[in-house]
Amino acid sequence: MEKFGFSILKERHIDYDANDKSIAEYISEREPSFRICIECGCCTATCTTGNFTSFSLRELQILIKRGENDKVRDNIKKCMLCGKCTLVCPRGVNTRNVVTLAREAFENEIENAV
Ligand code: SF4
Ligand code: SF4
């Protein structure tokens, strides 16, 4: 059978009310610049880790804000904290600190669960 160049996507919706936004709140309280990201992707374009892997800080920040934390928990550990993303961000988001706080929040989550 001949293949066509498209496929039907699975139905998907984001339930903002049901999702856990505690990680996003933890970051926002300590690093308010997290709120002013415009999702432009400059951080991802310059990212050292992103040059070698599919790591995307832009995507991870969006997922944290949506409360889709399961997709972030392990991925966020791949960042090398080099700080290049912070230098290029047009909004002045302290992205390096955002990553550090996100890791901290996930660690607290694990500690509290024990
Ligand atoms: S460069 Fe700054 S504004 Fe752009 S996606 Fe990254 S954090 Fe957001
Ligand atoms: S600090 Fe992390 S997210 Fe930012 S450019 Fe470096 S490796 Fe990428």
All structural domains of the chain with their residue ranges: 22-113
Ligand 2, atom 6: closest residue by C-alpha:
82
**Mean pLDDT, to the nearest integer, of 3-12?**
80
Residue 1 scores a pLDDT above 70: no
Taking each continuous run of H as one helix and of E as one strand, the counts in the chain are: 6, 0
- The answer on pLDDT for 14 being more than 70 is yes
pLDDT band at 114 (very low <50, low <70, confident <90, very high): low
Q: Which of 10-14, 26-30, 93-97 has the lowest mean pLDDT?
A: 10-14
Q: Please indicate whether residue 78, judged by its CB atom, sits closer than 6 Å to ligand 2.
A: no
Cβ-proximal residues to 45 (8 Å cutoff; 6+ apart), any chain: 88
Ligand 2 within 6 A of 82 CB? yes
Whose C-alpha lies nearest to ligand 2, atom 8?
47
Q: What is the CATH number of domain 22-113?
A: 1.10.1060.10
Closest by CA position to 61, among listed 83, 40, 80:
40
State the helix-helix crossing angle for 95-113 and 57-66, rounded to 10 degrees: 50
